Amino acid sequence: NYNELLKYLCSKNVIRKKVKCPRCQNILQLKDGELFFQCAKHYYKKIQKRKYKRVTCNFKISALYGTWFSHGHLSMDVICRLICYVIMSNAPRQLFLQRELSISS
């Protein structure tokens, strides 16, 4: 189950649960089933000496940013299965992994 995998990876600190918005310093929480943080906080920005403008922060970042999932071309569940197979199976395992995960060498 994909949501269970996300919860497990968050509990092991592979994927971050919280991130701080660099624009407005708001703490963003990861929602269930989503892989991105999005800030929609309203704040006031000074535009002249006494004038302020209400601005909406539209900061968005992937939860996978900065992890080893971010540059991979495989899905997260395939990568986790690959790691489990490499840890648990004996050598030679290349043909087994190619056939089981439908990947090329």
Digit-coded pLDDT (tens) for 28-58: 998 877 888 999 998 888 888 889 999 899 9
Between CA 50 and CA 56 the distance in angstroms is 20
Place of tokens 């900061």: 59
Please give the radius of gyration of the chain, using alpha carbons only, rounded to the nearest integer.
Answer: 20
Does 96 lie in the same domain as 47?
Answer: no
Encoded tokens for 105? 């060498």
Taking only the tens place, the pLDDT of each residue in 70-93 is 887 888 888 888 888 777 777 777
Does 80 lie in the same domain as 61?
Answer: no
Give the range of the structural domain holding residue 57, as residue numbers without chain letter: 2-68
Between CA 12 and CA 72 the distance in angstroms is 20
Number of domains in the chain: 2
pLDDT of residue 20: 93
**Average pLDDT for residues 13-27, to the nearest whole number?**
89
Does 62 lie in the same domain as 94?
Answer: no
What pTM did the predictor assign? 0.64
pLDDT of residue 28: 93
